[in-house]
Structure 1
Amino acid sequence: MKKIVYTTLSGAALTMSLLLNSCVSNADSPGLEYAPDMYRTPGIETYVDYGEVRGRENKAWKGRLSAMTPPRNTIPFYGTDSSEVKLMLPYFRKPNVAFRETHGLYGWDYSTADEYTLAVADKNPILLNATNAEAVITKGKELFTAMCQHCHGEKGDGNGPMVASGAYQGVPNYVGLAATEGQMFYSIYYGKGMMGAHGSILNKKEIWTIVHYIRRIQDANYGKFDANGAAVSTVVSDTTNSK
């Protein structure tokens, strides 16, 4: 009988000792955990060195990141549609060497040629037809509202909130703007004047889609088709090669 009581008390004392030792004063600490990774897996975050997790050093992983910066001109996987993949390939035109200083494009490959003027010949690869036109224009408006309207204004008149506040000046009015589709793309991708480069926050498809919407701003009939499927727009893509 005494042996049973002794064993019971010893077990209770050991249990209490373990419970007390597992408690800490830090309210954010889980205390002593047995096999914590079994039920509380640490989340893996991008670009984080996991050589040390929760105070435990793992020399095999030290200095390694969960995701590495991809090589220059790497593109995401866009499926197996060749036209889609071609559209998303790296932009073949390069920024002028002056863009390194004026637009913060450090470490890029530069061109000594006047690429903006050469972009006159570039055509929008997203072709509009009676079936897809309104969807493309609608998407372009959505992107324009999110990325451009704060400076260029809802109507593209160059009088957005940032301009009205006095923060920026010289934003062009799209109505009557003498610029081709290719020049618009180049300007959005690398920046122009006070506008910074958007190539890192908008992919090529998105920029070309915005260009379509800018054309709609210039001409209300742009992207519209008659009963025979013929375009009724009066906007000519290659309006001028002037800057």
Structure 2
Amino acid sequence: MKTLYKIVALVGFSALATSCFNKEKPNYQYFPNMYESAAYETYSESNAFKNGKEGQVPAQGSIPRGFTPEEYPNTPEGLALAKANLKSPLDSITEGDMTKAKELFTIYCAICHGDAGDGKGNLVKREKFLGVPSYAERELTEGGIYHVVTYGLNAMGSHKNQMSQHERWLVSAYVLKLKSEL
């Protein structure tokens, strides 16, 4: 008799649970926005931001983490000031630093300026670039070299995105070493 009650209760509960189900309109949805989210066009305007068109921009004068702004601007006047006033922040350069500087010079500079800084790199030999000067012919200062490596000059492009500030100072020191050897 108890099993009969259990079977009747189970059938009754099943009928009760399934009788209210409507496939056209489900009963309850928890967090309906998760199931039926609004579709947005990729580059369309949005009211999620203050002006309705673009995202928030950083505050005026803010500096990203790990970035130190350059002292002198990318102008001929900035180059002249850097040549005259800019000094290396590196206290002492070890033999390991010079090895790293030589590697960086070989990667970024020697293709045009040559391994010895004589202006006879592979691209000059193949006449892809002409007029690359020898370091012996130039009046070079560490600040001027750093500025040119940072911003580029004439046909030389900027290496600011390829090398950190520390690495650019190492290359400047290595260029001065090459100049003294020519």
* Bigger RCO (CA 8 Å, 6+ sep): 2
Residues 90 and 169 in structure 2, CA contact (< 8 A), matched pair in contact too: yes
Within-5 A mapping of 1:207-226 = 207-220=168-181
> Counterpart of 1:166 in structure 2: which amino acid?
E
C-alpha separation between the residues in 1 aligned to 2:131 and 2:162? 23
For 2:80 and 2:175, how far apart are their aligned partners in 1? 19
Equivalent position to 1:155, from 102, 116, 130:
116
Q: CA deviation at 1:73?
A: 7.3
Structure 1 residues 137 and 161: alpha-carbon distance in aligned structure 2, compared to 1, 3 A threshold:
same
Report what 2:69 is aligned to: 90
Residue 167, structure 1, aligned to residue 128, structure 2: yes
Query: 1:156 touches 1:174 (CA, 8 Å); kept in 2?
Result: yes
Could you tell me how far 1:219 is from its partner in structure 2? 2.4
Task: Report the alpha carbon displacement of residue 175 of structure 1 after superposing the two structures with TM.
Answer: 2.6
**Change over 3 Å in CA distance of 1:157–1:90 after alignment to 2:** same
Are 2:145 and 1:193 aligned? no
**Structure 1 length as normaliser, TM-score?**
0.47
* Offset at residue 203 of structure 1 (A): 1.7
- Partner SS, residue 135 of structure 2: coil
Equivalent AA in structure 2 for residue 175 of structure 1: A
Identity %: 29
- Which of residues 75, 80, 86 is equivalent to 1:122? 86
Q: CA RMSD in A?
A: 2.7
Once superposed, which parts of structure 1, at least 4 consecutive aligned residues long, lie more than 6 Å away? none
* Count of aligned pairs: 130
Matched residue SS, 1:150 = helix
Shift of 1:140: 0.5
Query: Are the equivalent residues in 1 in contact too, given 2:140–2:176 (CA < 8 A)?
Result: no
Q: Distance between the aligned counterparts of 1:73 and 1:169, measured in 2? A: 41
Q: Is the 8 A contact 2:152 2:158 kept in 1?
A: yes
Equivalent AA in structure 2 for residue 89 of structure 1: T
The residue correspondences of 1:138-149 to structure 2 (distance < 5 A) are 138-149=99-110
Q: Give the gaps of 5 or more residues in structure 1.
A: 1-56, 78-87, 97-112, 221-243
CA distance in structure 2 between the aligned counterparts of 1:118 and 1:174, rounded to whole angstroms: 20
Give the distance between the partners of 1:216 and 1:134, measured in 2 at CA. 12
Describe the SS at the equivalent of 2:178: helix
> Could you tell me the TM-score, scaled by structure 2's length?
0.62
The offset of 1:123, in angstroms, is 0.4
Asked whether the equivalents of residues 137 and 216 of structure 1 are also in contact (C-alpha less than 8 Å), the reply is no
1:2-41 map, 5 Å: none
SS at match of 2:136: coil
Matched, 1:178 2:139: yes
Distance 1:94 1:216, change over 3 A: same
Larger Rg: 2
Q: Which structure 2 segments of 5+ residues have no match?
A: 1-36, 44-54
